[in-house]
Amino acid sequence: MTTPFSATTHPAGTGPVVTVLGEVDVATAPRLRAEIGALTLGPGQLLVIDLAGVTFCDSSGISALIAARNLAEEAGAGVALAAVPARLSRTFALIGLGDFFPAYASAEEAIASHPAVS
């Protein structure tokens, strides 16, 4: 049974955390882009994208993650991926994006690595 797609946001001391569940593909990536595009990011914040619940991610999903990074950079913020599934991590390495995103074992670890925003 597949997990239905969802992307939800909650605040942390360093910035927003977007938790993604299910398959991120051509049908659902626009919803992820919309969720992230609706965020207001400020300089020095960290956008954390928690991928622990992602069961599949195609090129559309990877594109949405790159768009999130671009949005964060335009705002003077950072971006970090948390709990990247092994298969997706391997895909990143194969297509040359292995070092494109800072990655952490969990959202909590990503948040702890970044200074709190005042």
Write the pLDDT tens digit of every residue in 96-107. Answer: 998 999 999 999
Length of the chain measured in residues: 118
Burial letters for 86-106: b for 16+ Cβ neighbours within 10 Å, e otherwise? eebbebbeeeeeeeebbbbee
Query: Which range, of 12-21, 32-41, 107-116, averages the lowest pLDDT?
Result: 107-116
Cα–Cα distance for residue pair 35/9, rounded to 1 Å: 8
- Residues 29-66: pLDDT tens digits? 999 999 999 999 999 999 999 999 999 999 999 999 99
Residue 115 pLDDT exceeds 90:
no
pLDDT at 54: 97
CB atoms within 10 A of CB 26: 12
pTM value?
A: 0.94
- Residues 63-90: pLDDT tens digits? 999 999 999 999 999 999 999 999 999 9
CATH number of 6-111: 3.30.750.24
Q: Which two tokens stand for residue 104?
A: 């952490």
Residue 2 pLDDT exceeds 80:
no
Q: What percent of the chain has pLDDT over 90?
A: 92
Find the DSSP H helices in 38-85.
59-74
